[in-house]
Amino acid sequence: MKSERFFAELKRRNVYPVALTENQLSGNMAPMKTTLDLPDALMREVKIRAVRERKKLKDAIAEFIRKGMAAGKTRPAKAPKPVKLRGGPITTEEIEAAIAWGRD
């Protein structure tokens, strides 16, 4: 089972999740009730949209949260590869000349 291998690897690395159970980490999570304080206008919009899409309010909210979480998954920009220069290091005079040339 994948989760068994996952936990074996965590144990090998001496990493122990504090707040998550094996079921939560494997994706076998039971529904959880929670209370959210949302602005009235936002809640009204969510309710209207749920009715239009013929969804339960809890399903609409879960979908919005999933979409928001997915949208936040961006990869960090890769660092540029270092440039290899021929002819040795660049002098301050050469840098100033290049800047001045770019202004012309």
**pLDDT score for 54:** 93
DSSP at 88: S
Radius of gyration of the chain (CA): 27
pLDDT at 18 over 60: no
Instruction: Give the separation between CA 101 and CA 103, rounded to whole angstroms.
Output: 5
- Cβ atoms of residues 46 and 61 within 8 Å: yes
> What's the pLDDT at 27?
63
Give the mean model confidence (pLDDT) for residues 77-91.
Answer: 75
Q: pTM for this structure? A: 0.44
Q: How far is CA 70 from its chain centroid?
A: 7
Q: Say if residue 37's pLDDT is above 70.
A: yes
pLDDT on residue 47 = 93
